[in-house]
Amino acid sequence: MSQAASSKDLDALKAELTAAIAATASSAALDEIRVSALGKKGRITDLMKLLSTLPPEERKAQGAALNVLKDEIAAVLDARQQILAAAALQDRLASESIDVTLPIRPQGEGRIHPTSQTIDEVVTIFASMGFTVAKGPDIESDIYNFEMLNFPPDHPARQMQDTLVMPPLDGKPMVLRTHTSPVQIRTMLAQKPPIRIIAPGRTYRCDYDQTHTPMFHQFEALVIDEVTHMGHLKGCLLDFLRAFFGIDDLPIRFRPSFFPFTEPSAEIDIGCSRKGGELKLGNYGDWLEIGGSGMVHPNVLKNCGIDPEKYQGFAFGMGIERIAMLKYGIPDLRTFFESDLRWMKHYGFLPLDIPNPALKG
C-alpha cells in the first residue's frame, strides 16, 4: 500500500508549478510544463494513478485534493497562455508596423512611362466593354505572322527590308512579329467563338525616322460571333475613341482600304482641326488617320478552323505611341525609347495620380 501525498506536499507541488508557469517566456516552454504536470506521465497524473493503491478511507480525500490541484494548475496554465499570446501579438504589431510619415523613396523621382499609361487606359476601356487581354510571344513563326493572315507569298511586308528576321527554329522561318495579329490567330486556334479580345504589345519593323522606330507598341481588337457586322465595328470604335480622348462628340469616318486579312477593310479617321498650325481633336471638319480596321477575311477564319458560313467578325489596330502622342501632345515618337529622365519627368505619370478614364466624372 502506498501512502497518500500530504496536503503540504500538494501545496509545495502547486507552488513549484505556479512559479515555473509564471517564469515561462514562450508557448513552447508553457507546453513543456503542461505535459510535465498533466500529461500522460505528468506529476499530477502519476499521483492520480496511485489513488487505486490507497486504502479506501484515504482515497476519497486524496482524489478530491488532486482534482482541485489539477483544475487550479490547468487554470494557471490557461491564464499564462493568454498573457503570452497577447504579448506575441504586441511584438508582431510593433515589428510589422509601417511609419506612414516617412518620406517616399527615392524622393518620388519615378514616373509611369506614357506607353504603359496608355496601355493601361486602353485595357481599362475595353475591359469595361467585356473584352479580355490576350498575349503572345514577340518572336513569331512566319506562319502565324503572315501565312495564316492571308498574306500572299510575294507580299512586300514579307521582304527582308520591312521585317526583322530571326534564325529559324526547328526548321521553321521565324520573325520579330510585325503586328499583334498572330496573338489573335493563336486565340482563334485555341478558343471557340464568341471571341472578344484585345492584344496590346511590342511590335517590330525595320524602319527609323521621326514617326517610325524599330520597336513600337500597338493593340489590336478582335470580335468573332454569329451576327457581328460593320455597324458593331464602327460603334465599338466610336465608344472607344470618345472614351480614350475624353471628347464626347468626337466624330469618326471610314475610308476604303486594303489589308490581306480583312474584307472589306477601312482606314479609321477622327475629326480634327489644323488651324494656325495647331492640331486639335474634335468635331472641326478636318480628318486625321488613327488606325486600320475591317471584317475578318473568310480565309483567315478558315485557317483558324472557324466556319466563315456560320461566324464573322471585325478587327482593328492602332499604334499605342501614336494615340499617346495625340492625347498627351508628345511631338517625337523616338523620344519614347530614349530613356531620358527629363523627358519622363515632363511626360511621365505619377503612380498615385493615374488619370483613369473609367473613373471619369
- Smallest separation (angstroms) from ligand 2NL to the CB of 317: 3
Q: Which stretch binds ligand 2NL (CB under 6 A): 88-96, 180-188, 206-214, 336-344?
A: 180-188
Q: Please, which residues have CB within 8 angstroms of residue 319's CB and are 6 or more apart in sequence?
A: 216, 217, 218, 291
Q: Which stretch binds ligand 2NL (CB under 6 A): 47-55, 127-135, 257-265, 344-352?
A: 257-265
Report DSSP state, residue 360: -
176 touches ligand 2NL by CB under 6 A: no
Name the grid cell of 315: 478587327
184 touches ligand 2NL by CB under 6 A: yes
Q: Which of 141, 145, 262, 303 binds ligand 2NL (CB under 6 A)?
A: 262
24 touches ligand 2NL by CB under 6 A: no
Question: Of 10 and 222, which has the nearer Cβ to ligand 2NL?
Answer: 222
Is the distance from CB of 218 to CB of 319 less than 8 angstroms?
A: yes
Is residue 298 helix, strand or coil? helix
Q: Which of 119, 281, 306, 315 binds ligand 2NL (CB under 6 A)?
A: 315
Distances (CA, A) of 167 to 139, 151, 308: 10, 21, 35
> How far apart are the C-alpha atoms of 315 and 182, rounded to whole Å?
13
Q: What would the DSSP string read from start to end of 206-273?
A: S--BTTB-SEEEEEEEEEEESS--HHHHHHHHHHHHHHHHT-TT--EEEEEEEETTEEEEEEEEEEEE
Question: Of 62 and 178, which has the nearer Cβ to ligand 2NL?
Answer: 178
134 touches ligand 2NL by CB under 6 A: no
Is residue 54 helix, strand or coil? coil
271 touches ligand 2NL by CB under 6 A: no
- Smallest separation (angstroms) from ligand 2NL to the CB of 258: 10
333 touches ligand 2NL by CB under 6 A: no
259 touches ligand 2NL by CB under 6 A: yes
324 touches ligand 2NL by CB under 6 A: no
Is the distance from CB of 318 to CB of 205 less than 8 angstroms?
A: no
- Determine the Cα angle at 14 with ends 11 and 15, to 5°: 85
Q: Which of 33, 185, 324, 325 binds ligand 2NL (CB under 6 A)?
A: 185
Which amino acid, 256? P
163 touches ligand 2NL by CB under 6 A: no
> How far apart are the C-alpha atoms of 94 and 71, rounded to whole Å?
35
Q: Which of 195, 224, 296, 333 binds ligand 2NL (CB under 6 A)?
A: 296
Q: Please, which residues have CB within 8 angstroms of residue 161's CB and are 6 or more apart in sequence?
A: 206
Q: Which of 136, 193, 292, 357 binds ligand 2NL (CB under 6 A)?
A: 292
Binding site for ligand 2NL (CB under 6 A): 181, 184-185, 218, 220, 222, 259, 261-262, 291-294, 296, 300, 315-319
